[in-house]
Structure 1
Amino acid sequence: MPETGLTKGSIVYVCFLILGLGTLLPWNFFITAESYWQYKFRNPDPGNTTIPIGKTELQNLYTPMQVCFSQIPNFIFLFINALYSDKIPQRIRMVVSLTLMIIFFTITTALTKVNTDSWQTGFFALTIIIIFIMNSSGAIFQGGLFGIAGMFPSKYMTAVVSGQALGGVFASGARIVSLAAGADDVTSAFIYFMIAVGVMLLTMASYLYMTSTDFFKHYTNCQTEDVNEKKAEQNEAGFVAEQIRVFKQIWPLALSCMGVFFVTLAVFPVICVRIQSTYENEAWRDTYFQPVVTFLLFNIGDYLGRQVAGLIAWPGKESRLIPLFVVLRVVFIPLFLMCNNNLEAVPDYFEDDGFYIAIMLLFSISNGYLSSLCMMFGPRLVEEKDAEKAGSLMAAFLGLGLLMGGVSSFAVATIK
């Protein structure tokens, strides 16, 4: 046993929670600050008749481009991390990737105070480059974190996935508070992004502290005792064969995790942000409906689902019901399309806000619950020495699901 007990274990649990929060913070803050990006890419010269009335081309392009250039590097680097995580020391991967995230989020924060009206196209390109770099770094950090959590008891994986959901709740709540304060888009975005930078600095401090504890070293050192044996196995069987061997043991849950996020990203946020409120209250309809129902409610439901998974882990890790439940989530795609989208091709069967809220709750809770079961059980299906590799592979398939969902959202978004 480590020198510890409950106290040290609880502190490490909180650190995993904070680290989980930090993994998806850039994604959550970028998608939730929708009104800021719409302001940045608006028509800066309303008197210019050469620019069409309504949304500009950059405003229409931003959300799908953001999803695309978030999920492509996320997928690529999650898989690179899964395949080559043992080639670069864990600490270097985690610290360097988190440092890059902090640096580029700080640049994003500083740019809120820069007038970009005269170079909107250049600012758009710069923003996409920052999104690409930050999500590449975030994928390395996330893949490493899932690999580390895979070495610990299941509740620590629950802490990571719950922290990810809390990051979304935090981002959505902070955005609503900034809107309620009545600040303009630029000022509220500056404050909003500054909060994100502070949380990411806390994430770095949590990682550095956690890795210094005897509790952490106990569980990670238990796995390093077999390093030479694993290298011998890889030399004999081949590097690719080693990956395939681990994948064969976890593939039902890996594909299930991919399926969960494929459905989620197919409609969230691209389709959900087009749904309009039917209530007459102008403040609710125009200002708070999307931040509260689409973003805050989704993240609260996602968090609740992940918490419930830590308390009631049913179905079990070898159950075939998990893939079945994942497939059933496809029904959410037509359900969201039948909400108040004002589409010609799809009738608005669920116009009232109450229907959208109910569908969003089921959608978000199932996302959190099923994804948590997959991530918790995956590393438990392999031998202890392969737990980190299994955790990284699970994260890679999570990234593949996000990429596939993001790409499919372009097709769904073209429905008129």
Structure 2
Amino acid sequence: MFKLRESRGTPNWYSSNFQNAMTICAQIPSLAFGVINIFIAMNMFGLASSFPFKYTNAVIIGQNFCGTAVTALSILTKAASDDVQMRVNLFFGLSSIAVITCFILLNFLKKFNFYRKYGIFKPSSKSVEDGERSVWMSIREAFSKSKMQFLNIFLLFFVTLALFPNICMYVRDGKPGEKYNFVISEKYYMDVATFLNFNLFAFLGSLMANWVRFPGPKTIWIPVVARFWFMFYFPAANYYPMDFARAYPVMFHSTWLFVINICVFALSSGYLSSLIMMYAPRSHEDPKIQRMAGMIASFFLLFGIVAGLIFSWQIRLFMTGYA
């Protein structure tokens, strides 16, 4: 049998490669679930896109509520025990109960008349008259009127995920080593000031879109572009990732200013994402094209998430010199 360590205790060639192989194998299921989640999300938005605004927005509201619930659950498990293993077990157990409950409720929802009426796609009279379109023709028509909304949703989530959580979570109350001095307990600072704050206000922002729908489809790009301010602010605040030294000085020292910016950042993310995902399909009259536009918008949403997460590494590299 291969020895994983030499007699002096240092890992040998087999140990290093075994650990690398196990790490890669452990990531494969996560990658698979991520790909599956992408297709599920695209189909969810596609399904809801031909419904009235409130149903399309319900998908966004549900996603943002999940973020709030997960953060609250994380805080509760941290308060319940200081043992990391115990917290992991509690979190996994409660999360499993939530997933099972959702699965049971889904089967109940299928019995409602609303689902029976709208759950199965029925082509419109226009679709019947025009004949069956090819997928590429549907995509081309969806792009013809909704391309600006696709760009908007990409830019919105690019900015959001470039900063949250990889940048925002490392914005501290002060420099490393300085005495902590903020109203929130240091133990819960990151959980409350960053994660709960963001997820809660993103949820509230998506709720707002049910009653307030301003700006319109033609001018919504203005607040989307204005959110690039946060790309400058958060790295210029007390951003100290993993105690790395900064290459540039801190420009914004106030922790309260950071909390306020997180609120605005999250509120605008939830609100604008709901509006854009509602506007994109409504540029078309044919339900089939509406569904295609919803799916494409969902793709650009997820593309923005991936691109933003990748770009967050470049921000850290620029600010600290370490990727």
Closer/same/farther in 2, CA of residues 193 and 122 from structure 1, 3 Å limit: farther
* Change over 3 Å in CA distance of 1:255–1:295 after alignment to 2: same
Kept after mapping to 2: 8 A contact 1:172/1:296:
yes
Structure 2 distance, partners of 1:120, 1:282, is 41
Aligned mates of 2:213, 2:126 — CA distance in 1: 31
Q: Point out where structure 2 has 5 or more consecutive residues left out of the alignment.
A: 1-7, 12-17
Bigger radius of gyration = 2
1:243 pairs with 2:139: yes
Could you say which residue in structure 2 is the equivalent of 1:136? 35
Which residue of structure 1 lines up, in the alignment, with residue 165 of structure 2? 269
Residues 334 and 226 (structure 1 numbering): CA distance in 2 closer, same or farther, change over 3 Å?
same
Name the one with the larger helix percent. 1
Deviation sequence 1:383-404 (CA, Å, 0-9, x none)? 2332221211110110111121
Higher relative contact order (CA 8 A, sep 6+): 2
Work out which of the residue numbers 231, 248, 254 in structure 2 matches 1:352: 254
How many residue pairs are counted as aligned between the two chains? 297
**Which residue type is aligned with residue 357 of structure 1?**
V
Tell me if 1:330 matches 2:228: yes
Could you list the runs of 5+ residues in structure 1 that have no partner in the other structure?
1-47, 52-118
**Cα deviations by residue, 1:100-148 (Å, 9 ceiling, x for unpaired):** xxxxxxxxxxxxxxxxxxx764553344223211211111211111111
Residues 41-80 of structure 1 aligned to structure 2 (within 5 Å): none
Instruction: For residue 255 of structure 1, report the CA deviation from its aligned partner.
Output: 0.9
Deviation by residue 1:22-56 (Cα, 9 ceiling, x = unmatched)? xxxxxxxxxxxxxxxxxxxxxxxxxx9989xxxxx
Q: Tell me the residue number matched to 1:366.
A: 268
d(CA) in 1 for partners of 2:291 and 2:187?
44
Give the CA deviation at 1:229: 3.2
> Percent same amino acid among aligned pairs?
27
Please give the root-mean-square deviation of Cα atoms over the aligned residues, in Å.
Answer: 2.6
Q: Distance in 2 between matches of 1:324 and 1:390?
A: 22
- State TM-score, norm by structure 2: 0.83
Distance of 1:179 and 1:159 partners within structure 2: 30
Q: Distance in 1 between matches of 2:164 and 2:268?
A: 14
| Structure 1 consecutive aligned stretches of length 4 or more whose deviation exceeds 3 Å | 48-51, 119-124, 220-233, 281-286
Query: Any conservation in 1 of the 2:142–2:289 contact (CA below 8 Å)?
Result: yes
Q: Does 1:168 align with 2:67?
A: yes
Residue type at the aligned position of 1:156: Y
**TM-score, scaled relative to structure 1:** 0.66
What is residue 294 of structure 2 aligned with on the other side?
391
Shift of 1:202: 2.5
| In 2, Cα distance between equivalents of 1:389 and 1:255 | 16
Q: In the superposition, relative to structure 1, how do residues 185 and 144 fare at CA in structure 2: closer, same or farther (>3 Å)?
A: same
